[in-house]
Amino acid sequence: MSSLRTSRTRLVAAAATAVLATLSLSACNNGTGTQDEGSGSSTSPSSSAASATTASNSPAPSGSSAGKAPSAAAGSSGSGATGGSTTTTARTSAPKAPSSSGTPVTCEGSTTKTVAAPLTRPVNHMLLSVTNTGSKSCYLYGYPAVRFGEAQAVPPVIEDSQPQAVVTLKPGESGYASVNLSATDGSGANGYTAKSLTVYFQGRSGNGSVGAGAHPSLPAKGVYVDDSLKVTYWQQSMDDAVSW
């Protein structure tokens, strides 16, 4: 009997020891016991990533240089600033006034240069070129009133040659008119050879001449004219002038 009791006592002790070992191992695996002490200061990986994302998306504190616009260039104007930003105002010098500034005047002999050039085509034609030599734009009104030699009458104008607008010449620009000197078929009468020419300029009203006349030179042998003599209106282009 004594031997049997001793064996039971040993079995009970061994069983108790095994139970205690099992309980201790379970406590370690389920996070209880001494393993939970300090869990408040530990951080899981997912919470750490969330904290990092929040920090990167947060606006920079005032006074921080992060995201700050470059400072305005020295010497730029601060007027017109809105919300703390500075608007740079470009400073440019005023453009110089063109030499032709001011009210245009009427073209006339003292502010222009007139050239008379006989043409081979169309035949029996002469081209008048008037260049503005003044400092202001000028208007070439109407048509040239030409006088060959000692002629008393002013030749008529070709009405169909009238342009849609008054010819305007800026300083240095030229206007044109052509002169039909004589009939190409020989039907003209009272023909003669002229060796001098005076060109007079019309005013806005078209009644009479204004200013000084021009005296372009003619070829040494002169030009032949007859009573079919006529002129075109002043034209802005040479092509328009010689087309009549």
Closest by Cα among 163, 191, 187 to 175: 163
Q: Which residues contact 204 (CB under 8 A, 6 or more apart)?
A: 106, 139, 141
Torsion sign, CA atoms 12, 15, 19, 25:
positive
Distance of CA 155 to the CA centre of its chain: 47
* Mean pLDDT across the chain: 74
The one-character DSSP state at 88 is P
178 or 47, higher pLDDT: 178
Over residues 70-89, mean pLDDT? 41
Q: What percent of the chain has pLDDT over 90?
A: 54
- pLDDT class of 58 with cuts at 50, 70, 90: very low
Residue 7 has pLDDT above 60, yes or no: no
Closest by Cα among 117, 134, 135 to 126: 117
Give the range among 49-53, 105-109, 169-173 with minimum mean pLDDT.
49-53
* pLDDT score for 10: 57
* pLDDT score for 152: 85
Torsion sign, CA atoms 199, 200, 203, 208:
negative
Residue 64 has pLDDT above 70, yes or no: no
Over residues 3-22, mean pLDDT? 48
* pLDDT score for 221: 95
Q: How far apart are CA 204 and CA 211, in angstroms?
A: 12
Residue 38 has pLDDT above 60, yes or no: no
Structure confidence by residue, pLDDT tens digits, 86-111: 444 444 444 443 455 579 999 999 99
Residue 51 has pLDDT above 70, yes or no: no
Q: How far apart are CA 100 and CA 169, in angstroms?
A: 10
pTM: 0.59
* pLDDT score for 102: 77
SS3 72: coil
Structure confidence by residue, pLDDT tens digits, 112-163: 999 999 999 999 999 999 999 999 999 999 999 999 998 888 899 999 999 9
